Amino acid sequence: MTRRFPEALPPPVALEEEILRRWQEEDTFRRSLEATRNGRPFVFYEGPPTANGRPGIHHVLARAIKDAVARFRTMQGRYVPRIAGWDTHGLPVEIEAEKELGLSGKSDIEAYGIDRFNAVCRASVLRYKEEWERFSTRIGYWLDYDHPYITFEPRYIESVWWALGQIADRGFLYRAPKVVPYCPRCGTPLSSHELALGYRDVADPSLYVLFPLLDDSGAPTDEALLVWTTTPWTLVANVAVALRPEFLYAVVRWQGWRLVVVRDRVDALFGADADVLATAPGSAWVGRRYQRPFEWLPLPDDPPGARDRACRVYPADFVGAEEGTGLVHIAPAFGADDYALGQAHGLPMLQPVDDRGCFRPEVPEVGGLFVKDADDRLVEWLRATGRVFRAGREVHSYPHCWRCRSPLLYMARESWFLRTTAVREQLLDNNRQIDWHPPEIGEGRFGEWLANNVDWAISRNRYWGTPLPFWVCDANPDHVEVLGSFAELADRVGPLPPDFDPHRPAIDRFTWPCRHGDGVMRRTPEVLDVWFDSGAMPYAQWHYPFEHRDDFARHFPADFIAEGVDQTRGWFYSLLAISTLLGLGPAYRAVVVNDLVLDPEGQKMSKSRGNVVDPWEALATFGADAIRWYLLSVSQPWVPKRFDPDGVEDVQRRFFDTLRHTYRFLALYANLENWSPERPTPPPETRPLLDRWLRSRLHSTLADLTAEFERYELTAAARRLADFVVDELSNWYVRRSRDRFWNADGPEGAAAFATLYEALVAVARMMAPLAPFHGDWLHRALTGASVHLASWPCVDEAARDARLEERMAVARALVGLGRAAREQAGVRVRQPLPALYVTGPGVADLPAEILGIIAEELNVRRVEPVADDRRWARWAARPNFRALGARFGRLTPAVAAAIRALTDETLRAFRAGATVELEVDGQRIPLEESFLELVQEPYGELIVASDGRWAVALDPTITPELRAEGLARELVNRVQRLRKDAGLDVADRIRLGIGAPPELAEALVAHRDFIARETLALDLVVGPPPLVGEYAAVREVDLDGVRAQIGLQRVSHSSR
């Protein structure tokens, strides 16, 4: 029995839900893995999301990229395990737990109890795990959620300890006091790459303050250093001023003061009429003493002599003259440059701020205030003492905590660091081995970040995280033990319990005597930066090196990863930094970066703006495939893109609806003709020209698509496939071949069915990585099997015919111009015309069969190639007066006249690249393209159209004979519409009646065979109106201004 093709396609969302059920029932994902298990691995790492937040519409883009690549490689026979992962530690989880418990800050957490708090973190961390899994399933993103890596699991943590131990053994771990970005709300320092994630524009103080210089007796003088700062709160801890000794500085009179400022900033600060008393290099002030703006805190004499070295001017190469005053106040506790200068010169360090970012209670005026809230009060205090030159506010980019959004403070803290600066060159060399998409991120944003990277601060003064496996002697902090496994801990403290949990606070209770003295080894209280957690996933997902050594070896490095651009200084960096510190080279070979998904107006989505797109609503409206295709095709992944519902609908209409109609056409006629792919088909090389052309284009498209997928050019792949389906398969091949599908038993019909079937099967496979639902439905409808268990098609080089493709491309270009000429003439395509003249590259080589295709497409009696367009038109030049006026002024009219006088031959030579000169007023002026506009002026009645390469001339003459044929074609069109509206099947035979006035009736009778054949009319009656006889459907129509009646009656049903 001949297999029937399903003709009714479900709506897109229903289609996807049907396929989801099939995948689940058939366990398709597992079967695809089993089918390729012996294939060469293609390694993909999943960047772990935090499951205590919901997925958003932007996650569709990143996951569509990853899924498309994984499906493509699977179809190529590669083994692509897709291990899911969950990022479960860190501040995001702690902040949510604080909100849930009504806590605020570390003191509340410690009062509540670290053990109870961490229990809430553990319980909440996978709150939305099921929604994430459901989301991934719904968008067709296949991941192995049955065996995920979870960063809080002991086996994962043990591998992280191993990595830290290895890095320490290589000499890249140290502890030191450094100025680091510090979040007072979270009570912990951040790493430099975390810092980059949270910059926001804010209005901060801009204060110019006077520091009076002292004389030899220590008394203030009328000479003062003018210092600029945007952090007035740090002035409380000031101990020095820095300048550039080689810069030129000026002394400027101002309101009784002699102010010292870099010379390059005098005009900006004092105006052009500034009273400059003297100038000297900055070195003239080095060593001078000054009076602190706030003398509220005593200066400690630590290190010895520090008190005497304080409150002096020091040279520094970090001082600039582009803004400010060329004088920088130094507070070693609150700036990296300040700290380094303080260390270099043995300066004291004042620390008036506590861990909450508040001034200590003993600080006058501002004790207990958050430092940022104290700025205005400090400025007013300085103003009252006559020390303010200028004060205001200035908008600038300032770092905020990327999780809680609190402003960060730069504070000196003792932290644990990884010495990434020691492997800077290895980082850069490893990065050069990575295939970045786009390359400019790897070379620019990421490469520059690596070139300027600082040591990685890995310790966090928090609670829910991987505990640092560093035990420090309480008697001598130089005695440190770094443990790289739980076994090493057991060696020191005895057997660990079977349910051993390495988290705080239990881990903090493990101690042992120091091997080097009388002290006790206690764990340092910090936890690990979560970016190290996620960056260690290549090893920890396998519990390497404690288990799965072979699995790790087969799955390192990754062949491919893909995440958002924000991961440039996040996961992309931590993966590379850890693998480099371990001496293992790059952790990934290729990376695709995606940028933001914006709202339809190009605004960033945010809850405050109310423009966040609910992904579930979007999926219920459009389905996953249309959204995936839109996001992948609208622009390259690394370009910010708007989520525009109109754009998604356009994708649905242009690509998916066209494909659905094309498939339904095949299904409809295959069922009518009892055709199936098992029937004998003509060999491809013997098929008609149009079939050979489509097969050539199919395999050329396949070759291009394969290369684009392998280069991760998913946007190009999606666009190329859509163009093939819409422009070549549907709008050219199927439309040109419709009549051939009425006879599957004849060689032409058999070839057409086989060719269209082969093309649609190939399209189903080519689209499967990008649109997995529609690709699978189409493939099942055509073959009965899932496309995701099928192989990627192989390019048949024998099917490719470059010359045939070139000739058909010329034909299609000429048809496009011919249609434009018809539109210009106002003549419908159904009206035959006598001739079309064509010229351009390759036209002379077009065989008669392709000329015949052009003639049929444009409904002209003949197509005649000519050597060039001289036969029907001349070239003329129109002066561009705007360009001429700007160039020639009063000579413009004369130049314009010379341009208008240029001959057809001269202009043809100019178009071909020849140099042409104008003679104007005794001058020879070389002609330029901007001087003129070239236009074609046709001879006689011909209608001309050109695109610069090809040109056509259409003869619009309509003879009585041509008009009669045109009327017959118009009538056929009206009858076909009536057939459809009357609910007839395409194969139903009819009785047709036409009521028309004599002139129209005569024209129609002359073409009665054509009308009967095209409308499947077994009986055709033409007479005067009104219609005589019984017809089930009757309609009055207008045929080129003449009224007529048509009526039809079904006389036999199709055998469907």
Question: How many angstroms separate the CA atoms of 103 and 97, rounded?
Answer: 8
For residue 990, report the phi and psi dihedrals to the nearest 5 degrees: -135, 165
Q: What is the mean pLDDT of residues 140-159?
A: 95
Band (pLDDT 50/70/90 cuts) for residue 781 is: very high
Question: How many angstroms separate the CA atoms of 513 and 519, rounded?
Answer: 6
Burial 498-524 (b: 16+ CB within 10 A, else e): eeeebbbbebeebeeebeeeebebbbb
* Residues 527-544: tens digit of each pLDDT: 999 999 999 999 999 999
Closest C-alpha among 991, 1003, 1011 to residue 1040? 1003
pLDDT for the residue numbered 569: 83
- Per DSSP, the three-state class of 1009 is helix
What mean pLDDT value characterizes the chain? 91
Amino acid at 588: Y
Minimum mean pLDDT range among 250-254, 269-273, 394-398: 394-398
Q: Both tokens of residue 727? A: 């422009």
- Judged against a pLDDT cut of 70, whether residue 1053 lies above it is answered with no
pLDDT for the residue numbered 135: 93
Question: How many angstroms separate the CA atoms of 739 and 748, rounded?
Answer: 10
pLDDT for the residue numbered 452: 87
Q: What is the mean pLDDT of residues 584-598?
A: 93
pLDDT for the residue numbered 731: 94
CB 201 within 8 A of CB 361: no
Question: How many angstroms separate the CA atoms of 756 and 139, rounded?
Answer: 29
Catalytic residues: 48, 87, 531, 567, 571, 604, 607
DSSP state of 467: B
* Residues 895-904: tens digit of each pLDDT: 999 999 999 8
* Residues 608-621: tens digit of each pLDDT: 778 888 899 999 99
Closest C-alpha among 8, 2, 3, 1 to residue 663? 8
Band (pLDDT 50/70/90 cuts) for residue 2 is: low
- Judged against a pLDDT cut of 60, whether residue 272 lies above it is answered with yes
pLDDT for the residue numbered 756: 97
CA distances from 142 to 374, 563, 574 (A): 53, 16, 25
- SS3 string, 767-818, reads HCCCCHHHHHHHHHHHHCCCHHHCCCCCCCHHHCCHHHHHHHHHHHHHHHHH
% residues pLDDT > 70 (the chain): 98
pLDDT for the residue numbered 297: 92
pLDDT for the residue numbered 410: 83
Minimum mean pLDDT range among 8-12, 628-632, 748-752, 910-914: 910-914
- Judged against a pLDDT cut of 70, whether residue 752 lies above it is answered with yes
Q: What is the mean pLDDT of residues 887-901?
A: 92
Count the neighbouring beta carbons within 10 Å of the beta carbon of residue 859: 20
Whether omega for the bond prior to residue 1026 falls within 30 degrees of 0, making it cis, is yes
pLDDT for the residue numbered 1012: 92
Q: What is the mean pLDDT of residues 767-793?
A: 97
* Residues 718-746: tens digit of each pLDDT: 999 999 999 999 999 999 999 898 888 88
Q: What is the mean pLDDT of residues 236-262?
A: 95
In the chain, the N- to C-terminal Cα span, in Å, equals 14
Minimum mean pLDDT range among 16-20, 97-101, 853-857: 97-101
% residues pLDDT > 90 (the chain): 70
Question: How many angstroms separate the CA atoms of 313 and 240, rounded?
Answer: 6
Alpha helices by DSSP H, 439-570: 439-440, 447-451, 486-493, 530-535, 537-540, 549-554
Q: What is the mean pLDDT of residues 30-36?
A: 95
Closest C-alpha among 382, 390, 380, 393 to residue 255? 390
CA 689 to chain centre: 41
Band (pLDDT 50/70/90 cuts) for residue 176 is: confident
Band (pLDDT 50/70/90 cuts) for residue 1023 is: confident
For residue 836, report the phi and psi dihedrals to the nearest 5 degrees: -135, 125
* Residues 490-536: tens digit of each pLDDT: 999 999 998 999 999 999 999 999 998 889 999 999 999 999 999 99
Longest dimension (CA), the chain: 127
Band (pLDDT 50/70/90 cuts) for residue 1056 is: very low
Q: Which residues contact 857 (CB under 8 A, 6 or more apart)?
A: 736, 815, 818
